[in-house]
Chain A
Amino acid sequence: QKEVEQNSGPLSVPEGAIASLNCTYSDRGSQSFFWYRQYSGKSPELIMFIYSNGDKEDGRFTAQLNKASQYVSLLIRDSQPSDSATYLCSYSSASKIIFGSGTRLSIRP
């Protein structure tokens, strides 16, 4: 079993709609969870950090965490073409961060 499971996509969403990205993880001891955005050929950029159950909102982004189900999600409202990227789900474990393979998101005009 992979430590972080994500659908690789591509996930195609019309401009202005809500994009929903999902992730499951295997380590029940994980304390903090992250979503990174990575444009093609660039390094990852941290866009959301969550450590307690429930929702965390930052602008158009909402991260949701359910530790009992070992599930993390990212919602992007009012999707824009600039949101087209790969989104990496990750969590901290034993002094390092474990990354999923990413979900490729494409926003179509």
Chain B
Amino acid sequence: DGGITQSPKYLFRKEGQNVTLSCEQNLNHDAMYWYRQDPGQGLRLIYYSQIVNDFQKGDIAEGYSVSREKKESFPLTVTSAQKNPTAFYLCASSIDEGYYGYTFGSGTRLTVV
């Protein structure tokens, strides 16, 4: 079945550590996105990529980095520069840059310990 796989489902980070969240899709979608969701709030865009080897910053890119070396994969690294990383992270993909909507992965819940 086609879909988006995010891993891990839960992740714990110590202060000062970098962590990488995985996002893989087998939908043959060109565009991929990372959003962050805090309790009781909407989704805020971190980074997005419309094509391999190219990506753009979203509204809250500071403290995060991404790569897009393969069409299927769009990993997100939460660096130690991100001071408040505890949140629910959602990866999404789209065949048409969002015109018909996104398909979301199941999310990764990151907690700082």
Interface set of A (CB-CB < 8 Å, partner B)? 4, 8, 31-32, 34, 42-46, 49, 88, 92, 95-97, 99-102
Binding site for A on B (CB under 8 A): 31, 33, 35, 40-43, 45, 48, 50, 58, 90, 97-107
Most buried by B among A4, A45, A99, A101: A99
Binding site of B, secondary structure by majority: helix, strand, loop or mixed?
Answer: loop
Number of cross-chain contacts by CB at 8 Å: 53
- Check if A99 sits within 8 Å of B42, measured CB to CB: yes
Q: Please name all residues of chain B whose beta carbon is closer than 8 Å to the beta carbon of A96 when the two chains form the complex.
A: 33, 45, 48, 58, 97-98
- With both beta carbons as reference points, the residue of chain B lying nearest to A2 in the complex is identified as B42
Q: How far is the CA of A31 from the CA of B41 in the complex (A)?
A: 24
Contact of A42 among B41, B103, B106 (CB under 8 A): B106
From the candidates A8, A32, A88, A100, name the one contacting B40 in the complex (CB within 8 A): A8
